[in-house]
Structure 1
Amino acid sequence: MSKMDKLKNDYENIEIPEELDRVVRASIHEAKMKQRKKRPVSRNIIIGAVAAAALFIGSINVSPAFAKSMVNVPLLGSIVEVFTVQQLKVDEGTYQADVYTPIITGLENEELQAALNEKYVKENKELFEQFEKEIAELKELGGGHLGVDAGYEVMTDNDRILSIMRYQVNTVASSSTTMQYDTIDKVDNVLITLPSLFKDDSYIAAINTYIADEMERQMAADEMISYFTDNEYGEGFTTIKPDQNFYITNDQKLVISFDKYEVAPGYMGVVTFEIPTEVVRDLLVSDVYIQ
């Protein structure tokens, strides 16, 4: 069995911890307690390594043949990588599924890495098993249409930040789209949460005000843009959740994300708002992540 096949097999047979949240929290706490000093590295070396990693990862995801040819090539130091470990697929006419599962390698915090990878495998296994169950039920009733498309995209990958977006599109009569994000500090090896970026929960009101004003501005500028607001759709948008979906861009900007139908009609799809740093600057714990 090749190294790549063994890795795939290992993750397909992972036993999922019953208290995954506890594992993640414990690993974050442990990482925060360890303030290790990092040896300075030449900027040119970092840029070259990151560029090589990006090319390598992209090739794995695009070409399975390339992935197999790279099995015996040594990894570049401790570079953090994301690639597809498993694809679950169904192509039966009116029943369509295409589910890609990512894994992360190279994090120094191996417990956090394992917890995230186990979560990704668990989510997609459960999604695919539910899809198969629903197909069986539809066939008993005489047939129907059912589709699921799930995968991931690396939104940010720089010297410090790794942001991974996982999406799920379910199609029956219409489609729904949900997103989940994980943002990781690769230097301090911690999972970054939205509340952890701020001194207290005053960030919620500040971001709410900006988003509400931005919704009105966009709708006034373009009649094709529509949001659920107090004026048109009853209650409409009122607030983000304390743990609202977010990611951090390569330019160190905070982006807030809403699922399809969450704050806008379905034709608007997934909606994101990049929050100007001046809106939250005084509320941030530091400027390490957001600038």
Structure 2
Amino acid sequence: MKQINKLKKEYDDIEIPSELDEMVKQSIKRAKATKKKHSPLKQWSIGVAAASALFIGSVNVSPALAQSMANVPVLGAIVEVFTVQTLTMDKETYQAELKTPAITGLEDEGLQASLNEKYTEENKELFKQFKEEVADMEEVGAGHLGIDTGYEVKTDTEQMLSIARYYVNTVGSSSTTMKYDTIDKHNNILISLPSLFKDDSYIEVISSYLTKEMKQQMADDENISYFAFDGSNLEFMTIQADQDFYITADHKLVISFDKYEVAPGYMGIVTFEIPSDILSDVLVGDTYIR
């Protein structure tokens, strides 16, 4: 951290040559001229290229900047997540907003294309179903219907990227589901829950912990309740082998349950961070969880 701060101070103290002013102006002028001609992904690529040109130019005309940057470690490819498409409907009693994420920068272009295609097709299918339901409801002249999808980057480190995608369906009350993808950027692997463990014994280990944790939380707070549905006496029993999960930046496993899956609706999406020490004997290794 001290080294980073030192480098930052050295960078801030550098006198930027006057030649860069004209370079910046020309880059902005070219960007504006091409803005309407390119897709968001291509615009982003152009921006990176322009930034690279400015960086190279500044090193050429500023030996001080070149000397300073010589001490900065070279970074890998920049992986980013952005909204590539938004599908909308805005009628008096029917609203939809579906935001589709896309990933750019993964070394494995095949994996990247596969994930991006999955995200696009998911939202296309949801929007198609929504429009069909709206058409059916309009025929009978009544009804309220809403759908909302989006995403959140839960983890973005040099090694891992975890993306959460949510889907909210509103018909009177709302239901919410979450889907997660966790990617090993270094090895270009889409990590599944079973792949983290030696065998399926993790199901019992995690389920046992969650049962105790749920009971403890209910004992500590009367406003917390873990049951399958409102008014039900069915208690949580076990996670699924492919239960939704993500991995935090500090290498902790988080198990996620959709709204209504293990608790009344007012609890919403429910997540639990699993202590790594109870998993140590069943993990394949400590690359991801530790």
| TM-score band, normalised by shorter chain | 0.7 to 0.9
CA drift of 1:241 comes to 0.5
State the alpha-carbon separation in 2 of the partners of residues 287 and 71 from structure 1: 35
Aligned position for 2:69: none
Aligned position for 2:203: 204
Structure 1 segment 1-291 matched on structure 2, within 5 A: 72-74=46-48, 78-228=77-227, 233-291=232-290
Deviates more, 1:128-137 or 1:77-86: 77-86
Query: Cα 1:138–1:253, aligned 2, differ >3 Å: closer, same or farther?
Result: same
CA drift of 1:235 comes to 3.3
Structure-1-length-normalised TM-score: 0.74
Task: Name the aligned partner's letter for residue 235 of structure 2.
Answer: G
Q: Which has the larger radius of gyration?
A: 2
CA drift of 1:157 comes to 0.3
State the alpha-carbon separation in 1 of the partners of residues 217 and 278 from structure 2: 18
Task: Name the aligned partner's letter for residue 247 of structure 1.
Answer: Y
Q: Provide the secondary structure at the position in 1 that maps to 2:164.
A: strand
Task: Name the aligned partner's letter for residue 115 of structure 1.
Answer: S
Q: Provide the secondary structure at the position in 1 that maps to 2:48.
A: coil
State the alpha-carbon separation in 1 of the partners of residues 99 and 275 from structure 2: 33
CA drift of 1:69 comes to 7.2
Q: Deviations over 1:13-53 (max 9, x none)?
A: xxxxxxxxxxxxxxxxxxxxxxxxxxxxxx96xxx9xxxxx
Identical-pair percentage = 62
CA drift of 1:143 comes to 2.3
CA drift of 1:128 comes to 0.5
CA drift of 1:81 comes to 1.0
Aligned position for 1:20: none
Task: Name the aligned partner's letter for residue 145 of structure 1.
Answer: H
Deviates more, 1:131-140 or 1:74-83: 74-83
CA drift of 1:236 comes to 2.1
Which consecutive segments of 4 or more residues in structure 1 shift more than 3 A?
67-71, 232-235
Q: Give ranges in structure 2 of 5+ residues lacking alignment.
A: 9-34, 53-75
Task: Name the aligned partner's letter for residue 251 of structure 1.
Answer: D
Query: Cα 1:266–1:80, aligned 2, differ >3 Å: closer, same or farther?
Result: same
Q: Provide the secondary structure at the position in 1 that maps to 2:261.
A: coil
CA drift of 1:251 comes to 1.1
State the alpha-carbon separation in 2 of the partners of residues 206 and 122 from structure 1: 35
State the alpha-carbon separation in 2 of the partners of residues 157 and 82 from structure 1: 10
Structure-2-length-normalised TM-score: 0.75
Aligned position for 1:29: none
Q: Give ranges in structure 1 of 5+ residues lacking alignment.
A: 1-42, 49-63
Q: Provide the secondary structure at the position in 1 that maps to 2:183.
A: strand
Q: Provide the secondary structure at the position in 2 that maps to 1:283.
A: coil
Task: Name the aligned partner's letter for residue 202 of structure 2.
Answer: Y
Task: Name the aligned partner's letter for residue 285 of structure 2.
Answer: S
Greater RCO structure (CA 8 Å; 6+ sep)? 1
CA drift of 1:70 comes to 5.1
